[in-house]
């Protein structure tokens, strides 16, 4: 192999690839219905859940077996072609955005639950299995898979591994990295490797932790062993109203200070409840500046004890109204509004842009106040839903892509939120990933030495830089350019990308 190792300094050039030869080789390796090359067949793959960024790939490969995944990777490597792995395409950071010179490797056809072991409490699944399908399959055993990203009906476990997905229950139950025991994957060389195992740890470096959240940059997942946990006997949620967002933020800290880790602790501001209430009729207090949803789960005794304690804390923290769900339908109704925030945003605005910064809990009120000021500055509305328990923010900036300049203002608004997240001691992404979208914001969070180290980690797995290039980790050249753009007014432009 004569390919050059990719470097941290500048982007690679893939324009010299012999497309015809690559397509012929893929056609030889895959069954006819497992390779898409016609433009109309490629269109559904031009973007993921973040549709502002679109790009057609050279081809889409849909392998049906691990052996075909191996063959596709070997062929792409021989051709020096980029490979973008894709699950259900629900990602929100353009992590699955195709590369113009590359192949999209869809794992959607690998969708079998291979084995469920109720005694060991594990399930072995293929990467294309949907997150919720795992919990549904093991529900009769009294078990479930804990991470529950809001896209769980559609998103796949392979995608969850790539993004280290969270959900509303991760403060208590952890992220994907805490709930996956083993990942089987194919390296760009075609070698099959296993990170982790069915024990609780593995010898050597913790490559499992490195692989989870690696956004398809290190290897392609072909099998995942997930941990299953017993379904709590019971769950109850408190809905508390506050007349001030700062007070609501302080109440979040007070609950934690009381020694409780709630199963879920979510916050919505007034514009958010106003947006969702007509849509779901959850019974939210529309006069409140912010509401908190605070859930306890466990045995009946545990829930009763925690709910009483949390209720007392919320009252002391100045809640103006408190309601405790009295039945399972009522609990689900309280949650329905929170879970419908994204579709509700889509209902009240032609377009919306979801941010994903995480900050220390105590800065929540401060961040909200800053966002309200940014709404004026950028002349755009923003509704705010937060995974308050772990400080993860999902401001939804409302815009209309058909109005000239609104998308650019939206991006600048979003970038300023992310910059503030870093300044407040947090991060640009809590659970959605960097992907293509936040690649410039990575330059705000990390210095050149860290970025070089990330590129070196990438090279340790994929020396030629063929797996999902130009995602996740910016080149130093890119950061230099981005810095220069900052000076020129903060507008980020990606001329190589079509916009909608």
Partner 1 sequence: MGGDLLEGFRSRILERKPLRLKGGGSKDFYGGPLAGEVLDASSHAGIVSYEPTELVITARGGTPLADLESALAARRQFLACEAPDFGRATVGGAVAAGLSGPRRATAGSLRDFVLGVKLMDGEGRQLNFGGQVMKNVAGFDVSRLIAGSLGTLGLILEVSLKVLPLPVADATLRFELAQDKALEAMNRWAGRPLPLAATCWQDGMLTLRLSGARAAVVAACQKLGGEALADPAAADFWFALREQTTVFFTGDAPLWRFSVPSVTPPLELPGPQLLEWGGAQRWLRADLEASQLHQAAAKAGGHATLFRGGDKTGGVFSPLSPALMEVHRRLKQSFDPYGVFNSGRLYPEL
Beta strands at 59-61 and 103-106: parallel, antiparallel or unpaired: parallel
Contact call for residues 226 and 180 (beta carbons, < 8 A): yes
Of residues 55 and 179, the one with the C-beta less far from partner 1: 179
Residue 42-81 contact track with partner 1, rule CB under 8 A, x = bound = ----------------------------------------
Of residues 35 and 442, the one with the C-beta less far from partner 1: 442
Name the nearest CA neighbour of 271 among 332, 333, 345. 345
Q: Smallest distance from the beta carbon of 343 to partner 1, in angstroms?
A: 23
Helix/strand/coil for 469: coil
User: Is 288 exposed, middle or buried, given 0-12, 13-18 or 19+ CB atoms closer than 10 A?
Assistant: buried
Phi and psi (nearest 5°) for 118? -70, -25
Contact call for residues 137 and 125 (beta carbons, < 8 A): no
Distance of CA 243 to the CA centre of its chain: 31
Site for partner 1 in 312-341 (CB under 8 A): none
Contact call for residues 121 and 227 (beta carbons, < 8 A): yes
Site for partner 1 in 399-458 (CB under 8 A): 425-434, 438, 442, 445-447, 449-450, 453-454, 456-458
How many Cα neighbours within 13 Å face the side chain of 26?
A: 29
The three-state (H, E, C) secondary structure of 93-125, written as one string: CCCCCCCCCCEEEECCCCCCEEEEECCCCEEEE
Of residues 12 and 93, the one with the C-beta less far from partner 1: 93
Of residues 107 and 428, the one with the C-beta less far from partner 1: 428
Which one of residues 92, 123, 212, 374 is an interface residue with partner 1 (CB under 8 A)?
212
Of residues 144 and 242, the one with the C-beta less far from partner 1: 144
Site for partner 1 in 230-289 (CB under 8 A): 230-233, 253-254, 256-257, 259-261
Which one of residues 247, 362, 409, 419 is an interface residue with partner 1 (CB under 8 A)?
362
Of residues 177 and 396, the one with the C-beta less far from partner 1: 177
The span of 12-20, 59-67, 213-221, 376-384 binding partner 1 (CB under 8 A) equals 213-221
Which one of residues 132, 304, 332, 412 is an interface residue with partner 1 (CB under 8 A)?
304
Beta strands at 103-106 and 83-86: parallel, antiparallel or unpaired: parallel
The span of 46-54, 75-83, 299-307, 332-340 binding partner 1 (CB under 8 A) equals 299-307
Name the nearest CA neighbour of 235 among 171, 292, 299. 299
The span of 15-23, 337-345, 353-361, 395-403 binding partner 1 (CB under 8 A) equals 353-361
Beta bridge partners of 125: 113, 224
Which one of residues 31, 118, 350, 490 is an interface residue with partner 1 (CB under 8 A)?
118
Helix/strand/coil for 24: helix
Q: How far apart are CA 493 and CA 30, in angstroms?
A: 38
The span of 18-26, 61-69, 116-124, 328-336 binding partner 1 (CB under 8 A) equals 116-124
User: Which residues have C-beta within 8 Å of that of residue 372, sequence separation ≥ 6?
Assistant: none
Q: How far apart are CA 132 and CA 306, in angstroms?
A: 27
Which one of residues 31, 44, 350, 360 is an interface residue with partner 1 (CB under 8 A)?
360
Q: Smallest distance from the beta carbon of 308 to partner 1, in angstroms?
A: 10
Distance of CA 393 to the CA centre of its chain: 12
The span of 28-36, 228-236, 265-273, 378-386 binding partner 1 (CB under 8 A) equals 228-236
Q: Smallest distance from the beta carbon of 107 to partner 1, in angstroms?
A: 20
Q: Is 140 in the site for partner 1 (CB under 8 A)?
A: no
**Taking each helix axis from N to C terminus, what angle separates 270-280 and 341-348, rounded to the nearest 10 degrees?**
90
Q: Smallest distance from the beta carbon of 338 to partner 1, in angstroms?
A: 17
The span of 25-33, 83-91, 275-283, 389-397 binding partner 1 (CB under 8 A) equals 389-397
Of residues 406 and 444, the one with the C-beta less far from partner 1: 444
Q: What angle do CA 47, 450, 206 make, to 5 degrees?
A: 80
Of residues 23 and 116, the one with the C-beta less far from partner 1: 116
DSSP 358: B
Dig out the tokens for 175 from the structure: 């992220």
Residue 148-177 contact track with partner 1, rule CB under 8 A, x = bound = ---------------xx-x---xx--xx-x
């Amino acid at each position: 192999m004569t390919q050059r190792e990719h470097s941290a300094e500048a982007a690679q050039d893939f324009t010299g690839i012999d497309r015809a030869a690559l397509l012929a080789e893929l056609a030889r390796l895959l069954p006819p219905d497992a390779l898409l090359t016609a433009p109309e067949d490629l269109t559904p793959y031009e973007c993921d859940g973040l549709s502002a960024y679109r790009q057609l790939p050279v081809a889409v490969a849909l392998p049906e077996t691990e052996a075909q995944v191996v063959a596709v990777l070997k062929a792409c490597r021989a051709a020096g072609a980029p490979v973008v792995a894709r699950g259900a395409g629900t990602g929100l950071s353009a992590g699955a955005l195709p590369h113009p010179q590359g192949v999209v490797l869809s794992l959607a056809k690998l969708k079998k639950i291979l084995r469920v072991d109720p005694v060991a409490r594990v399930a072995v699944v293929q990467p294309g299995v949907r997150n919720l399908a795992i919990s549904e399959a093991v529900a009769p055993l009294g078990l479930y898979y804990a991470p529950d990203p809001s896209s769980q009906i559609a998103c796949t476990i392979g995608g969850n591994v790539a993004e280290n997905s969270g959900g509303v229950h991760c403060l208590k139950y952890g992220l994907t990295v805490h709930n996956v025991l083993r990942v089987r994957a194919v390296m760009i060389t075609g070698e099959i490797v296993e990170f982790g195992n069915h024990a609780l740890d593995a010898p050597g470096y913790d490559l499992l932790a490195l692989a989870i959240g690696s956004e398809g940059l290190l290897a392609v997942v072909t099998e995942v062993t997930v941990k299953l946990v017993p379904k709590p006997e019971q769950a109850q949620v408190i809905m508390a109203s506050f007349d001030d967002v700062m007070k609501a933020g302080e109440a979040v800290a007070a609950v934690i200070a009381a020694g409780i880790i709630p199963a879920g602790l979510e916050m919505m501001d007034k514009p958010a409840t106003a947006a969702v209430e007509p849509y779901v009729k959850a019974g939210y207090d529309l006069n409140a500046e912010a509401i908190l949803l605070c859930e306890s789960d466990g045995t009946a005794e545990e829930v009763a004890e925690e709910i009483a304690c949390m209720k007392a804390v919320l009252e002391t923290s100045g809640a103006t109204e408190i309601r405790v769900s009295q039945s399972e339908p009522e609990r689900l109704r309280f949650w329905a509004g929170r879970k419908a925030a994204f579709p509700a945003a889509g209902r009240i605005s032609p377009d919306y842009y979801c941010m994903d910064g995480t900050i220390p809990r105590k800065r929540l009120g401060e961040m909200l106040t800053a966002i309200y000021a940014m709404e004026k500055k950028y002349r755009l509305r923003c509704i705010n839903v937060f995974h308050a328990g772990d400080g993860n923010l999902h401001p939804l900036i409302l815009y209309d892509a058909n109005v000239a300049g609104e998308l650019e203002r939206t991006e600048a608004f979003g970038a300023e939120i992310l910059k503030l997240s870093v300044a407040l001691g947090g991060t640009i992404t809590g659970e959605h990933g960097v992907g293509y979208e936040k690649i410039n914001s990575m330059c705000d969070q990390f210095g050149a030495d860290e970025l070089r180290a990330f590129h070196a980690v990438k090279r340790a797995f994929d020396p030629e830089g063929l797996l999902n290039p130009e995602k996740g980790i910016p080149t130093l050249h890119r950061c230099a350019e981005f810095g220069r753009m900052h000076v020129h007014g903060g507008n980020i432009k990606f001329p190589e990308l079509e916009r909608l």
